[in-house]
Structure 1
Amino acid sequence: MQDRPRICVFCGSSYGNSPAFREAALQVADSLARRKLGLVYGGGRVGLMGVVADAAMAAGTEVVGVIPLALATHEIAHHGLTELHVVPGMHERKALMSEKSDAFLTLPGGIGTYEEFFEILSWAGLGIHAKPIGLLNIEGYFDPLLALLEFGADAGFVRRHFLDFLLVSTDPDTLVSDLLSFQPPSLPRKVTLEEA
């Protein structure tokens, strides 16, 4: 990990329809601040992204945002951050977020959040990184996703070692602690793209 570890948070650009989602974002920011951890996220000022960034900044946390140019020019970018990186597109966004992070924590979100989560999980399984990945399962939001992963594994399409990087909790503080104490599993051999 870096001198000051950073947790990348994937989350929605909407608030969702339960106050529990917003409260979870605030608790994640508080947990990072108490541990003097940095935050890396998608650079937006709206939805749960804005909630976690604003709360982290207010607590004195380093906040690094990474946003594609198309979104930044639509005035969605958060300009009050420690660092704001404007990149050409979504691929560059995810690559830079990964590079600047020591672990990943996923809050409830939509298709973009799922896509970020699945890409970083596939990268772990392929040996591209060995960083922990957390799902904050507020109000059972990720229950269907976890069931889908198990179904895929049972059907022989999801390799179980991909899931060894995955940590799940309903409590923000517990999940952050688990991410920090994670020891990467040893993979039997590097997986080829054909096998993934």
Structure 2
Amino acid sequence: MVAQLFDLADPAVVPPEALPALRLTAPAADFPVLQGVYRLATALAGASGLLVVVDDAHWADTASLRWLAYLALRVPGLPIAVVLAVGAGERVDDPSFGEITAGSRRVVLGSLSQAEVAGLVSEALGAAAPEFVAACQDATGGNPLLTVRLLRALAEDGVPPTAEAAWRVADRGAEVAGEVVVARLRRDRRRW
């Protein structure tokens, strides 16, 4: 994960100690590597700041979580913010994750409201009939990931956001939800 975070970093600012982490050759997250990647983050932050965003942190490798814990202890007073997203119902058993979250503020994202779904529908497909928005809300339960994927699929299919086309949402919504579940099961199977 650390290699992905800093993949586009200017090689001129990468401390030599950080290179094994960025090249995926570090055997472990030992102190020189942790310190090297930390120095890279502070160099990138400079005076303007750095936002470190990790989606699906429950999939992060142990060495990267160790580095995030190392960074999290040092963030106060630095122009660096760290945002981690963990899927609903996912667990992270790595002790480093506990260190990261100990001093963090937890924000739980809920389902999208009907008005928020309407905004996404209008943005993706144009002005939408209330029946069409309601069908999208029903098909996804307001889940942001499912809503976005459903709207992308409906746009690809050329489905207009009209009351007459609302019936197509349920069928396509079931397909999209199935694709998401299958993808999750494949990922989980690889973890076993």
**Which of the pair has more CA radius of gyration?**
2
TM-score normalised by length of structure 2: 0.33
TM-score normalised by length of structure 1: 0.33
Higher relative contact order structure (alpha carbons within 8 Å, sequence separation ≥ 6): 1
Where is the helix percentage greater, Structure 1 or Structure 2? Answer: 2
Where is the strand percentage greater, Structure 1 or Structure 2? Answer: 1
